[in-house]
Amino acid sequence: MNKRLLILLTALVFTITGCSQQVPARNNSQGTTQSDSKAAALSVKDFADREVVFSTKPEKIVALSNGDVNTVYALGGTLAGRPTSKEISVKEAESAEQIGTTHSIDLEKIALLHPDIVLGNYPLNMKDIASVEGIGSKLLLTSANSVDEIKQQIKLFGQLLDKNDRASELIQDIDHKAETMKKDQPDAKPRVLIVFGAPGTYMAALPNSLSGNIAELAGAANIAADYPNLEKYPQYAQLSTERIIEANPQYVFITGHGDPKEVTAGFLKEMERNSAWNGIDAVVNHRVTVLPADLFGSNPGSRVLEAMDMLHHILNGEGQK
């Protein structure tokens, strides 16, 4: 090889090397480099005080309760899987695969969807953590035993979906409604009994339940406030006919799981068996009201505003609106 050709080849090598060193890593759509994107992580803490970490923002989500469905769509998100239910308040979610409920998850259907995250209940789905993680998904646990917990849930889902601004708007709406209820309360606190049940099983809702908390925000006095809570269901207490008649509630609200008509009919039969019920103010004044199960019998999610509004109007003598 002659000297002139050797010089040309050497110059060419240095030119190529220099160009390759000046080319930056390709940016993704969010302005970070590929290497930065891989290193990025989303870390959130659920209601079981567990830190749940994602290497990227979760895209494929399934929910085990209708309340979670309501909140996800209210934030502008979508679901790949939803609870197994004949009725669902969000039409956009109807086409999502039905994957069981918080009480009975369908792990096989969930596995086929390969979700990044499963939204479950604390403490009900604690037992399912290992199974869900075994199929390569994360399980995030939340609960809704108060309006404040629903607000925390909305904030948490806002972080997951990168919808923090929308989450803040929803929380502000709830705060505004609570403030309105506080300012516009009956002069004297009406005495209320909130009955929660399924056919054959009836309990009194305590102030630490969601329905009890909403009643308290609306200015009601829960006659079961000092009842001892049940060990398995700490938000509820055993009904005591004698104490109820003694407290003489001015309003009786009935809600629960399952068919609301069946629940109501069953409880009314219980009342008929004891004629003393006929003398309490709520019965005399026809103030025995069936509350919608999807708003009061389970987590309503972002629809808690509807639940608050309904109870507020009833206790102010305006009926259901």
Q: How confident is the model at residue 187 (pLDDT cuts 50, 70, 90)?
A: confident
Which CATH code of 3.40.50.1980, 1.10.150.530, 1.10.340.70, 3.90.550.10 fits the domain covering 39-177?
Answer: 3.40.50.1980
Q: State the chain's mean pLDDT as an integer.
A: 86
β-strands 251-256, 221-222: how paired? unpaired
Asked if residue 51 has pLDDT above 90, the reply is yes
Question: Could you read off the pLDDT of 247-282 as tens digits, one per residue?
Answer: 999 999 999 876 767 777 888 887 888 888 889 999
Q: What pLDDT sits at residue 224?
A: 97
Judge: domain 185-315, CATH 3.10.20.30.
Answer: no
Question: Could you read off the pLDDT of 8-17 as tens digits, one per residue?
Answer: 334 433 333 4
Identify the top-confidence range among 6-20, 35-49, 116-130, 246-260. Answer: 116-130
For residue 279, give the 3-state DSSP assignment.
helix
pTM: 0.84
Q: What pLDDT sits at residue 319?
A: 55
Region 199-215: mean pLDDT is 92
Region 95-101: mean pLDDT is 96
Asked if residue 40 has pLDDT above 60, the reply is no
Between residues 199 and 183, the one the model is more confident about: 183
- Considering the chain, tell me which residue range(s) the CATH 3.40.50.1980 domain(s) occupy: 39-177, 185-315
Residues 6+ apart with CB under 8 A from 202: 195, 196, 239, 256, 266, 267, 270
Between residues 18 and 171, the one the model is more confident about: 171
Question: Could you read off the pLDDT of 287-319 as tens digits, one per residue?
Answer: 999 999 899 988 999 999 999 999 999 998 765
Q: What pLDDT sits at residue 234?
A: 95
Asked if residue 156 has pLDDT above 60, the reply is yes
Region 133-153: mean pLDDT is 97
Instruction: List, in sequence order, every residue forming a beta bridge with 80; answer none if it has no partner.
Output: none
Region 64-68: mean pLDDT is 96
Rounded distance, CA 280 to CA 248, Å?
5
Rounded distance, CA 321 to CA 318, Å?
8
Q: What pLDDT sits at residue 199?
A: 65
Rounded distance, CA 49 to CA 105, Å?
22
Helix (H) or strand (E) holding 142: strand 138-142
Q: What pLDDT sits at residue 288?
A: 92
Q: What pLDDT sits at residue 69?
A: 98
